């Protein structure tokens, strides 16, 4: 019994041999039943592969992430695509609706005056027909208002009629450009009213104020019509009423000079697309500067060696150093984060109107309403505004979004040179049949 167990426990493995030789054994041919090893299978050493060198091991080691990689980088691709797509859709919508409305008015005038059906209709005829239609509607509303207040006391009815005439008569006397600008101002005032509702503050902060670090794109558009302070709203409305109507007049004048001439019953859609695109572009410039210039400086400031905790030898010193370092980081983060602020307002789009007006009417003069100043040539005033923004950028002023102002000025300069030609091409490309008669 002892001999049998001994054979099973100390039996050595078979020796190396070739295929044609018979394997040799030191003991008798007793086979372990638990793990039998056939004698006709060659025994081969295990292959472990090539051992990498020290240099190859270092190459395979992944380097640690830097501070900028850990905090991430805000992008601008979505914002650029949103601005391009939004501007293109705005001009496409404007060109289609302008063509449709022009065709409708030409058809109405041709029915009313058959002698004009031969193609003798002009833009002035279309404007006069629209003004006559507006006055007719205002008179109808006045008649309905008088009918509605018949049961009111006798002392109140004259005041209601007087209030209607006081408001609507200046509106009827305004040019088409001023009417549109005041409609935009009314929209801005409505958004300003929403800002004053306490329950809507959280939603307004997220939807009507563009934060470059939020990653949202649609706020570039909504923030253009958003004003949180009354003085901001007042100054922008006054500037839009004057410079916006002048830019509107320039767009109308340039449309009649292009060849081949096209009838245009209204320039409302054209000006709206110009205003929206200018606001989008100025907001995009501010976004790019904040994410690609200011934010990297913020990250570099936070990752500087001066803000890292120092090495210490004792536990008490380590706790004290980490507390001081954390306090310094919080202070630096707050100071640097204050340089990337959310923006809102129509100043960028209004700057485009100012530049177009200054280039189209260089003989015009401007003066400040608050505080009152002497009139100066409009180009001098524009140079002063641009200089103020450049100085504000160099000095780091953060009260106004100077980059958005310069972006709006650049858009106005580009649109003055190429905008009317682009608009004419859009209208001809999207023109419906039958084509409107040419101007005479």
Contact 303, 66 (CB under 8 A): yes
Residue-level pLDDT at 23: 46
Contact 302, 208 (CB under 8 A): no
**Residue 2 predicted with pLDDT over 80:** no
The pTM of this model reads: 0.76
- Best-predicted range by mean pLDDT (115-119, 194-198, 319-323): 194-198
User: Binning pLDDT at 50, 70 and 90, where does residue 67 land?
Assistant: very low
DSSP letter string, 172-238: HHS-HHHHHHHHHHHHHHHHHHHHT-GGGHHHHHHHSSB-TTS--STHHHHGGG---SHHHHHHHHH
Distance CA 59, CA 66 (A): 18
**Where do the structural domains in the chain lie, given as residue ranges?**
73-121+174-301+343-430
Q: 142: which 2 tokens? A: 């006045």
Distance CA 324, CA 311 (A): 13
Q: 403: helix, coil or strand?
A: helix
User: Binning pLDDT at 50, 70 and 90, where does residue 53 land?
Assistant: low
Residue-level pLDDT at 31: 45
Neighbouring C-beta atoms of residue 319, cutoff 10 Å: 11
Q: Please list, residue by residue across 285-295, b when 16 or more beta carbons sit within 10 angstroms of its beta carbon and e when fewer do.
A: bbbbbbbeebb
Quickly count helices (H) and strands (E) in the chain: 17, 2
Please name the residues in contact with 397: beta carbons below 8 A apart, sequence gap of 6 or more: 391
| Residue of 271, 279, 117, 249 lying closest to 180 (CA atoms) | 271
């Amino acid at each position: 019994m002892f001999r049998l167990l001994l054979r099973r426990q100390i039996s050595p493995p078979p020796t190396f041999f070739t295929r044609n030789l018979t394997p040799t054994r030191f003991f008798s041919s007793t086979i372990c039943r638990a793990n039998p090893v056939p004698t006709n299978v060659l025994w081969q050493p295990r292959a472990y592969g090539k051992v990498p060198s020290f240099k190859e091991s270092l190459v395979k080691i992944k380097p640690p992430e830097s501070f900028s990689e850990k905090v991430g980088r805000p992008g601008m691709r979505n914002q650029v695509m949103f601005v391009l797509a939004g501007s293109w859709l705005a001009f496409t919508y404007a060109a289609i609706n302008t063509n449709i409305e022009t065709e409708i008015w030409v058809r109405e005038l041709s029915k009313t005056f058959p002698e004009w059906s031969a193609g003798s209709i002009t833009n002035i005829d279309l404007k006069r027909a629209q003004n006559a239609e507006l006055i007719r509607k205002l008179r109808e509303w006045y008649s309905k208002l008088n009918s509605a207040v018949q049961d009111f006391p006798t002392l109140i009815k004259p005041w209601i009629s007087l209030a209607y005439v006081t408001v609507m008569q200046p509106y009827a006397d305004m040019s088409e450009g001023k009417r549109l600008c005041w409609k935009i101002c009314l929209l801005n005032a409505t958004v300003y009213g929403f800002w004053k509702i306490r329950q809507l503050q959280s939603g307004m902060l997220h939807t009507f104020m563009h934060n470059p670090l939020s990653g949202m794109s649609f706020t570039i558009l909504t923030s253009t019509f958003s004003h949180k302070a009354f003085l901001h709203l007042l100054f922008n409305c006054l500037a839009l009423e004057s410079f916006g109507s002048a830019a509107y007049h320039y767009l109308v004048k340039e449309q009649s000079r292009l060849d081949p001439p096209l009838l245009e019953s209204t320039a409302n859609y054209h000006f709206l697309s110009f205003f929206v695109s200018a606001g989008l572009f100025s907001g995009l410039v501010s976004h790019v500067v904040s994410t690609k210039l200011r934010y990297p400086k913020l990250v570099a400031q936070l990752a500087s060696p001066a803000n890292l905790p120092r090495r210490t030898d004792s536990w008490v010193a380590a706790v004290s150093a980490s507390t001081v370092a954390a306090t310094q980081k919080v202070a630096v983060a707050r100071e640097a984060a204050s340089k990337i602020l959310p923006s809102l307002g129509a100043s960028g789009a209004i700057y485009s109107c100012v530049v177009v007006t200054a280039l189209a009417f260089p003989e015009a003069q401007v003066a400040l309403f608050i505080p009152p100043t002497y009139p100066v040539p409009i180009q001098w005033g524009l140079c002063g505004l641009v200089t103020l923004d450049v100085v504000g950028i160099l000095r780091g002023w953060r009260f106004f979004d100077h980059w958005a102002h310069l972006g709006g000025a650049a858009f106005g300069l580009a649109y003055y040179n190429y905008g009317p030609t682009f608009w004419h091409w859009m209208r001809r490309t999207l023109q419906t049949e039958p084509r409107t008669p040419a101007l005479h």
